Amino acid sequence: MIRGVPLLEDLGDLAGKGVLVRLDLNVPITETAEGVRVVADDFRIRAAIPTLSWLRDQGARITACTHLGRPHGRPDPAFDLGPVRSRLEELIGGVELLENLRFSPGEEANDPDFVRYLVNGQDAYVNDAFGVSHRAHASVVGPPAYLPSAAGRLLAREVEVLTGLLEAPARPFVVVLGGAKVTDKLGILRSLAARADTVLIGGGMAFTFLQALGHSTGASLADPARLAACTELLRSTSHLVLPVDTRALAPGRKLSIEQQGGTSEAPTFTDGARSIVEIFGAEIPEGWRGADIGPATAVLFAEIIASAGTVLWNGPMGVFEDARFAEGTKAIAEAMARCSGSTVVGGGDSAAALAQLGLTERIDHLSTGGGASLELLEFGDLPGLAALRTAPNARPAVPGDLDSEASEPGAGSESR
């Protein structure tokens, strides 16, 4: 049970009734050789099937809604839901799918008129969109004020697993955090450092911590404005583990994602002695840019993961879109797959890396929402969950329910 949040069984008899279901079907779209837009990865669509199937079995008339991309409040054919609608119909028929919610400015603005439009003619509401439940958007927080509401199977499962990490993880509890910007992860770092036995830090965010220890980081991504915060975390926490070596890019060279066409540069030499990619220890020379953890760090991190009772991973170890800097992320993904403990991956780029390596099925829980995962772990609650507690059919909280010690959630940030 989630504290005070109604579940599907709390909606009562749904035979012949209209149910609005908020899903997160924000899936990657690609084009075939013939120029036809199709779904490239249907993981999030398949994740919605248990809730939709249950509602259909109850005899409900299902109207689903979702966003796709960022069309900025106006219709854009590049973000219409045609490919998503087709794939959903293939997986489960009889579900009406509204057009992209973000075609209306009222969605992200939480406009009451847009909420009323969504709930018009509906008898109940289900939120099964964990990936956007940290957003105070109209389709997420609006309907429970008007309709009996419930958390879908996916949302309930996400909260159960992630809240379990805060309450009673099998130990040792190891957290692996990566990604580019340290400012995006400071809050969750503080929260998890107080609960985890070990926190492994990689990606671009590691360089601000390395600077805080007095190391030179060359031209690597670092945030001087966060040096004091990183220094304080290092002072107050003894179990943060930073990279011991770094794979770096030569001065003046570009990452593949920075080049037109996205192709990697050939592995030539800059001066006849040094390659354009080098591995450095604690100190990175001036002009060189760290873009991945080094091999020694990959081995160190993998050994710590191997002995874990529970592992949470969120964020790549480097610029894994560039094949020259994908080894660190690959090593973590493979270590997660081998780990005999409970493994949880917080969506986003980490999930993409697992999919590329064919390791998704070897992870115990793959979250459908990276930003939502982080906010739930940091605050213990989400705006979408708080809204469900206000629904007409919501139940009082019972001691012992999940997230019973939750603090106030934020409304989410676009950086997550």
- Check 106, 370, 371, 380 and give the catalytic one: 371
Q: C-alpha 18: how far from its chain's center?
A: 31
The whole-angstrom separation of Cα 272 and Cα 141 is: 60
Among 407, 416, 362, smallest CA distance to 385 is for 407
User: Which helix (DSSP H) or strand (DSSP E) does residue 247 occupy?
Assistant: strand 246-249
371 in catalytic set = yes
The whole-angstrom separation of Cα 174 and Cα 200 is: 8
- Check 116, 181, 190, 362 and give the catalytic one: 181
Contacts of 72 (CB under 8 A, 6+ apart): 102
Q: CA-based angle 24:27:29, to the nearest 5?
A: 150
- Check 218, 348, 384, 412 and give the catalytic one: 348
On the CB side of 242, CA atoms within 13 Å amount to 21
**Per-residue burial over 207-224, b = 16 or more CB atoms within 10 Å of its CB, e = otherwise:** bbbbbbeebebbbbbbbe
44 in catalytic set = yes
- Check 3, 22, 44, 289 and give the catalytic one: 44
Count other Cβ atoms within 10 Å, centred on residue 260.
6
**Per-residue burial over 300-320, b = 16 or more CB atoms within 10 Å of its CB, e = otherwise:** bbbebbeebebbbbbbbbbbb
What token pair was written down for 387? Answer: 């809204």
The whole-angstrom separation of Cα 11 and Cα 22 is: 15
348 in catalytic set = yes
Interhelix angle 227-236/186-193, nearest 10 degrees: 10
What residues are labeled active site? 44, 181, 348, 371
